């Protein structure tokens, strides 16, 4: 969802300024997603609403084991540990590819009472590579299977999303569920000159991840997921997010306009979910 700072660190801490509420001078949240804007025009509220909608879609279980992938600087982890609408978890595992985000998440989670939840945070790519020597939650040798896997506004970056979905399927318990707030296309990805320029400038996703809603659903089913749902929530995401960015000065106005171009070129924001058969 963001401009790149350098190839190895696409996010940094720029998002902290977006979380400042109007009229306040104390930073209270560190959200990093496009938000669900149906009932708000405040960025952190919209981001939390999207996270809660994703968690509701995932059907988290009491005393369940949850993997949160691409958790930024830890706001979604804190939400999972503290929000009254979310069942108490036995285990919460997180992974992010950005060392700075990993370190900040560790520091933030240590400050809260996890109420008996065992928390384990990792730094690394979302997709496990067999050459990795460090522990990875999606490794075939990992001792933990999960009841829920969450990917909040990040899976379109993965290399590749299909590999991540396949590994996630193998690490879910029977009856466990994956849920992703993700980006795809309304139909087959466009090949117009405008779409190619936009794609080349922002590098939103690799060509392997640029699939249609129908193909996304088919991919989940082909891997083995059942009860598959891919819900288009674009109208409650893109207009609100673009409108928010365009109020924040020239640089953000340009970035918001690029996001809008993506939208009119056929990009859609979806909630995708499916279960591993029992």
Q: What is the pTM of this model?
A: 0.91
Strands 65-69, 91-96: pairing kind: parallel
pLDDT tens for the chain, residues 1 to 278: 443 333 344 466 777 889 988 888 889 999 999 999 999 999 999 999 999 999 999 999 999 999 999 999 999 999 999 999 999 999 999 999 999 999 999 999 999 887 789 999 999 999 998 776 568 999 988 889 999 999 999 999 999 999 999 999 999 999 999 999 999 998 876 555 455 555 554 466 788 898 999 999 999 999 999 999 999 999 999 999 999 999 988 888 998 998 898 898 889 999 999 999 99
Q: What is the pLDDT of residue 134?
A: 66
- What the chain holds in terms of domains, given with CATH numbers, is 58-275 (3.40.50.150)
Q: What is the pLDDT of residue 95?
A: 97
Q: What is the pLDDT of residue 55?
A: 98
What residue has token string 């149906």?
38
Are 63 and 87 in contact by the 8 Å Cβ rule? The answer is yes
The set of residues, in sequence order, having a beta carbon less than 8 Å from that of 247 and lying 6+ positions away, is none
**For 213, what's the count of Cα atoms within 13 Å in the CB-facing half-sphere?**
16
The two tokens of residue 143 are 């001792």
Strand partners, 207: none
Q: Measure the CA–CA gap between 206 and 182, rounded to whole angstroms.
A: 14
Q: What is the pLDDT of residue 195?
A: 54
């Amino acid at each position: 969802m963001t401009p790149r700072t350098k190839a190895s660190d696409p996010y940094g801490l720029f998002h902290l300024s977006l979380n400042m509420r109007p009229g306040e001078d104390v930073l209270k949240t560190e959200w990093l997603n496009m938000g669900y804007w149906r009932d708000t025009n405040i960025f952190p509220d919209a981001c939390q609403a999207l996270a809660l909608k994703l968690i509701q879609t995932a059907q988290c279980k009491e005393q369940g084991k949850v993997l949160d992938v691409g958790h930024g600087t830890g706001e979604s982890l804190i939400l999972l540990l503290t929000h009254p609408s979310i069942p108490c978890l036995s285990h919460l595992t997180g992974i992010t590819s950005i060392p700075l985000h990993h370190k900040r998440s560790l520091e933030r989670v240590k400050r809260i009472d996890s109420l008996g939840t065992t928390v384990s945070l990792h730094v690394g790519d979302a997709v496990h590579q067999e050459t990795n020597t460090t522990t990875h939650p999606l490794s075939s040798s990992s001792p933990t299977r999960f009841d829920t896997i969450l990917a909040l506004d990040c899976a379109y970056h993965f290399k590749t999303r299909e590999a991540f979905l396949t590994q996630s399927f193998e690490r879910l318990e029977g009856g466990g569920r994956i849920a992703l707030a993700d980006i795809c296309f309304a139909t087959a990805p466009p090949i117009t000159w405008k779409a190619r320029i936009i794609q080349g400038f922002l590098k939103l996703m690799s060509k392997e991840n640029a699939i249609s809603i129908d193909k996304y659903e088919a991919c989940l089913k082909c891997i083995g997921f059942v009860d598959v749902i891919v819900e288009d929530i674009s109208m409650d995401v893109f207009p609100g997010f673009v409108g928010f960015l365009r109020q924040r000065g020239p640089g953000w106005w340009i970035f918001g306009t690029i996001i809008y171009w993506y939208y009119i070129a056929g990009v859609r924001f979806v909630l995708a979910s499916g279960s591993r058969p029992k």
